[in-house]
Amino acid sequence: MNKLIYIFIILIICTLGYAQPVPNVEENIPYLMTFGQDADTDWGDDDFSQAFFFQIPEDYDQPFFIRVFDPDTGGEIDEIRGDFNTRCVFEVFGGEGNWSDPAAKETSPVGNYKSGTLLATRAFTANPRYDNQWFTFGPFNPAQGEYSEEFGTYIFKIICEGISGDDGNMYRYYLSTSDTENRPIEDGNAFAYEYSFRMHNNVEEVAHIYPYLEDGTVSVRIRNFDWDWDGNIVVISVARQGREIKISGEDHWASDELRVMDEEIKTSMDFRFVKANSLVKNNNVVVNVRNQFGDALRFYSIPLGGVPKYKGEVEFIPIE
C-alpha cells in the first residue's frame, strides 16, 4: 500500500478513537510479553503474568471478540531458551468484580486477582497453527462484563500467564466486532495496571505508555524493571517538557517519585522509552506507577485526553 495512504488511514483511525489494537499505534510497542514461570527474571518478566482490561462503551450492544496475535510460544517472534517448552494460558473474565476487586487492580498475581467469572480459557504451547496468526475468543455479550458507572463502560479482563517452561511469549490483542478480522469498536479502550512489553531493536523507535492522572493525585512513584541501562525513560506531560527518571539495570527495579502539578490532573503522562544501545537486543521491560496512596494507575491504550503535549511557559507581556 502507498505509504501516504497508509499513514492517512492510521491518522483517521486514531482521530476516531478506535484503539482496539493492544498495544495501540501511538504506543509503538511491538509486543506484550509474558514468560513461562520457570524463566529467570533477568530475561525481563518479573512475575510471568499480565492482565489487561477491555472497555466496551455502554451504547454498544452487539457481540464482540477478543483476538490474540501469536498466542503460542514458538516461532520467530517468541524468545527461545534451549527448546521451546513453554505453556501459556489465556483466560477471559467477565462479571461482577472482574475489575473492581482490589486484587485485580494490583500489579502482581496475588490473592483474588482472577476475580469475576471465567468466560473462556485456552492454553498454548509451540503450535505452528497459531504462529504469526490470530486466535479468537468469543463471542461475548457486553452485558457479560462488569458495568462501571464511573466509566460508563462494561469491563472485561484477560490474563496471560506462563504456567510452565522458560521461554518468552510475545503477543498482541485486538478488540473486534468480527471473529475473522480486526474490526474496531468505536470508543472502545483497554488499560493495564502494569505493563510488560518488548522494545523494538531499532534505536530510532521510541516506545510510549500513557498513565492517566486522576483528580486528587499528588505524587506518583514510577517503577521500571530490567531496562538493562538501555538509554532513557523520559516523562512528558502538558506541564513537563521531559523529565528523565531513574532507570533499571538487569533483573532490578528502579524507582522514582514525581510531584504532580495541577495542570497534569485529568490528563495522561507520556512515558517515552528512548533506546540508546543497539547491542541491547530484545529488551523486555515492566513498568508500573502508583499514586501517594499506593494505588496503581491505569495505562490506557488510547491515552485519556489524548497524547499530552507540553504547553510551554506562559508568556508574560507587561502592559506599558
Contact 143, 156 (CB under 8 A): no
Binding footprint of Ca ion, residue count (CB under 5 A)? 15
d(CA 313, CA 186): 36
Q: Examine residue 184 and say whether the peptide bond preceding it is cis (omega within 30 degrees of 0).
A: no
Q: Determine, following the binding rule CB under 5 A, whether residue 101 of this chain makes contact with Ca ion.
A: no
239 grid coordinates:
506541564
- Binders of Ca ion in range 42-61 (CB under 5 A): 44
- Measure the CA–CA gap between 76 and 170, rounded to whole angstroms: 10
Between 29 and 170, name the residue whose CB sits nearer to Ca ion.
170
What residues numbered 205-264 form the site for Ca ion, per CB under 5 A?
A: 226, 228
- Residue 262: CB partners within 8 Å, gap ≥ 6? none
Q: Which is nearer to Ca ion, 51 or 126 (CB)?
A: 126
Rounded to an integer, what distance in angstroms lies between the CA atom of residue 25 and that of residue 310? 20
Kindly state whether residue 37 participates in binding Ca ion, applying the rule CB under 5 A.
no
Q: Does 34 bind Ca ion (CB under 5 A)?
A: no
* 105 scored as a contact of Ca ion (CB under 5 A): no
Among residues 49 and 283, whose Cβ is nearest to Ca ion? Answer: 283
Among residues 284, 288, 291, 301, which is the contact residue for Ca ion, using CB under 5 A? 284
Whether the CB-CB separation of 294 and 222 falls below 8 Å is answered with no
Among residues 27, 46, 146, 167, which is the contact residue for Ca ion, using CB under 5 A? 167
Site string for Ca ion, 62-81 (x = CB under 5 A): --------x-------x--x
Eight-class DSSP state of 307: S
Kindly state whether residue 30 participates in binding Ca ion, applying the rule CB under 5 A: no
Q: Name residue 122's beta-bridge partners.
A: 90
The binding site for Ca ion (CB under 5 A) comprises 44, 70, 78, 81-82, 85, 166-167, 169-171, 226, 228, 283-284
